[in-house]
Copies of this chain bind each other. A is one copy, B any other.
Amino acid sequence: MKNRFTLLLPILALTFFMNTSNLTAQKDASVEIMQANEKFMNLFNAGDIDEFVSVYTEDARLLPPNGQIVTGKENLKNFWNGMMEAGIKPVLKTVSAHRYGKTVIEEGNVAIHAGDQVVDNVKYIVIWKKINGDWKMYQDIWNSNNPLPN
């Protein structure tokens, strides 16, 4: 028995160490999150609000500037439908995306186009969750880089 555990211990220790490292170490998720953002932009520009809100989790929390928190699919639809009807086109760019298991913390920015003009520049943090193999937005907060209008 003693010999068996002598053999076992370093392997268990190594396994434990490797998994502890995994637990605390973040992994880069830029590529998969950039793909998810590509989907976000394509669905937004396609203008089908029902398809579009599928980029969010069922329990998603939208934290828009100068407004209350938006939760629930219908409220998300109403919020984004207003943006679609305003005719804007968001161009998202990931600054960093760090993965912890089934969660990703992304920082990025958005150039908001209206016709030929960029009408706003926005920075954001999005918390993504992997749900049934797809990355979906769970928490979404942003604000403008532009000064307050006078």
Interface residues of A (CB under 8 A from B): 4, 7-8, 11-12, 15-16, 19-20, 22-26, 61, 63-69, 98, 100-103, 105, 107, 123-125, 127, 139, 141-149
Question: Copies of this chain, how many?
Answer: 2
Please pick, from B4, B16, B145, the residue contacting A19 in the complex, using a CB distance under 8 A. B16
Task: Find the B residue at minimum CB distance from A143.
Answer: B65
Docked complex Cα distance between A109 and B98 (Å): 24
Task: Find the B residue at minimum CB distance from A12.
Answer: B15
Secondary structure type dominating chain A contacts: mixed
Q: Which residues of B contact A64 (CB under 8 A)?
A: 143
Contact A143 B19 (CB under 8 A): no
Q: How far is the CB of A20 from chain B (nearest CB, A)?
A: 8
Q: Which residues of B contact A101 (CB under 8 A)?
A: 23-25, 100
Q: Which residues of B contact A142 (CB under 8 A)?
A: 141, 143
Contact B23 A144 (CB under 8 A): no
Q: How far is the CB of A141 from chain B (nearest CB, A)?
A: 5
Q: Which residues of B contact A139 (CB under 8 A)?
A: 105, 107, 125
Docked complex Cα distance between A141 and B140 (Å): 11
